[in-house]
Amino acid sequence: MHHNKGFGTRAIHAGQEPDPTTGAIMTPVYQTSTYVQESPGVIKDDYDYARSANPTRKALEANLASLEGGRYGLCFGSGLAALAACIHLLQSGDHVILCDDVYGGTYRSFDKVFKQFGITYDRVDMTDLNALEAAFTAKTRMVWLETPTNPLLKIIDIRAVASLAKSKGAIVAVDNTFASPALQNPLSFGADIVLHSCTKYIGGHSDVIGGALIVNDDGIAQRLKFTQNAVGAIMAPWDSFLLLRSTKTLHVRVQRHCENAARIADYLAAQPQVAAVIYPGREDHPHHAVAKKQMHGGYGGMITATLKGGLPAARTFLERVKLFSLAESLGGVESLIEHPAIMTHASIDKHLREAIGIGDGLVRFSVGIEDVEDLIEDIAEALAAI
Ligand SMILES: *Cc1c(COP(=O)(O)O)cnc(C)c1O
């Protein structure tokens, strides 16, 4: 139902029928661990135990599947739990190719957790398809990418990567957290798996940790569903309820995030204290053409900028902003700002970090949906203090 409707309509209605017992318009929080059976093994739908199925979670799973244009959605306790479920598709000896400035926690999982189980990885700059092609080995089973990347906001051509990976027999997983389903739908470009950290734009209010996978293929869906239950890192009913509340406004929030970020990116680019601004919506972004092709409705709420004067300048700026809160995370209605080298990307070795361009003058903005004039005034005052 609703599959042929527009994004905003699906955001509000997909997966959510009035509650069958009362007609409640909002999906209730089914806070239960088990379900009563009429006779041994006679259960309603697949409701035998709430790790395997919960109606609140199921509504969110159907909602997110619809927003990504996928057939199956699966929700987990965090984005990293969703990542771990994907890795259960692999076995010891398999090789994975990661994009080079992947989310720090994703990198840590591959480097410190999955490696122990014999799953190896290489990192490549996937904006360079020759480099990607050269990274495949006979054991490569999965290609893992984010676009826009974190924190350098590189844009990877999903369609090109997916077609190359397919020719090599590898599964393509796209972490779509930064774009959100409102701006980019990787399944439509040939990706096999879409991951979201629901903690970010999908939640949008900085009050839930959650993760989701969306897929089209029956076989992959079945194996992920098995892992979701067998390994057990499920999303709780209350968090599912909060996220159903959030997705109803996703399109409206993301539209404002994009408008504000575009204004602020242009403002930053004109300031003498700023050495460089990275925003995929700007024509001076090296991959703007790819962004224009695969994103729709805007270029997101994330901006990265390098301040002249390195760490001392960045430190002063980050201490002086008032409306932008200095914090990790992103995608909430309130504006956040952070220093990747010291904060989100500290788990990456310094030489590696600098080699990929995460220097000490780099700051990352998660532009919220406040009044943009107030945000610009806040930035202006902090820049003046440098
Ligand atoms: C936050 C984030 C994750 C991890 O999600 P959690 O919900 O924090 O586990 C993965 N990928 C990206 C791009 C993220 O921003």
Q: Is the pLDDT of residue 300 over 60?
A: yes
Domain covering 7-247, topology: Aspartate Aminotransferase; domain 2 (3.40.640)
pLDDT band at 234 (very low <50, low <70, confident <90, very high): very high
Pocket test for ligand 1, best of 75, 78, 80, 174 (most atoms within 8 A of CB): 80
In sequence order, the 6+-apart residues with CB closer than 8 A to the CB of 231 are 84, 85, 88
Per-domain residue ranges of the chain = 7-247, 250-384
Which residue pairs, CB below 8 angstroms and at least 24 apart, start in 340-344? Answer: 340/151, 340/304, 340/364, 344/104, 344/150, 344/151
List, for residues 24-63, the tens digit of each pLDDT value.
Answer: 999 999 999 999 999 999 999 999 999 999 999 999 999 9
Question: What's the CATH superfamily of 250-384?
Answer: Aspartate Aminotransferase, domain 1 (3.90.1150.10)
Cβ distance 361 to 307 under 8 Å? yes
Residue labelled with tokens 């109803």:
248
Q: From ligand 1's centre to the CA of 84, what distance in Å?
A: 12
Entry pTM? 0.97
Phi-psi region of 150 (alpha: psi -120 to 50; beta: other; left: phi over 0): beta
Cβ distance 367 to 302 under 8 Å? yes
- Relative to beta strand 95-99, strand 362-366 is unpaired
pLDDT band at 68 (very low <50, low <70, confident <90, very high): very high
d(CA 142, CA 90) in angstroms, rounded, equals: 8
Q: From ligand 1's centre to the CA of 79, what distance in Å?
A: 5
* Res 348: pLDDT: 80
Residues marked active site are found at 51, 103, 175, 200
